[in-house]
Amino acid sequence: MLDYTLRPWREDDLESLVNYANNYNISSKLTDAFPHPYTPENGKAFIAMAMETGPNRIMAIDINGKASGGIGLHPKTDVDRLNAELGYWLAEPFWGQGIITAAIKDMVAYGFSHFEFTRIFARPFGNNVASQRVLQKAGFTLEATFEKTLIKNGELEDELIYAIRKNPPF
């Protein structure tokens, strides 16, 4: 496995971000908030948002000195306030090398140690078997499946909910 680090996003990540994020194979597996095509304007807006969230909850996955993916914890509010949704993506040239599994494990450990979360969850599409496997390898368990509840690219998709819990929760 290549070495990687999780680090805050920087303005000078724009070129790498746009280069790797402008990929239909990535955007087709994410929410519509991750556009395709992915433009420099999209990248600037994302980096600005990621830099203003603090403490750092949205990190770049840095491989060989370049932002090559992203991973973030998105806290819930109100009665769900002890939960955070995990979002992540990795540049296609680095798929299948164990990087995203390791990055998820690192982000979960970071989330449980720096925030009051007792549960971190992710919602891969039912057709995203690779993401489901990655979550399982990172210690997540399948909590629920909702059939044909999401729409992506004109197709109804199953929504799966995988989660990992802090032990002990408090």
Q: Using one digit for the tens of pLDDT, what is the confidence trace for 110-162?
A: 999 999 999 999 999 999 999 999 999 999 999 999 999 999 999 999 999 99
What CATH number is given to the structural domain containing 66?
3.40.630.30
Residue 104 to residue 101: CA distance in whole angstroms = 5
In this prediction, residue 141 carries a pLDDT of 98
Average pLDDT over residues 35-63: 93
Q: Is 142 inside any structural domain?
A: yes
Q: Is 91 inside any structural domain?
A: yes
Residue 60 to residue 4: CA distance in whole angstroms = 10
Q: Is 105 inside any structural domain?
A: yes
Neighbours of 101 (CB within 10 A): 17
The residue segments making up the domain with residue 35 are: 5-165
Q: Is 170 inside any structural domain?
A: no
Total domains in the chain come to 1
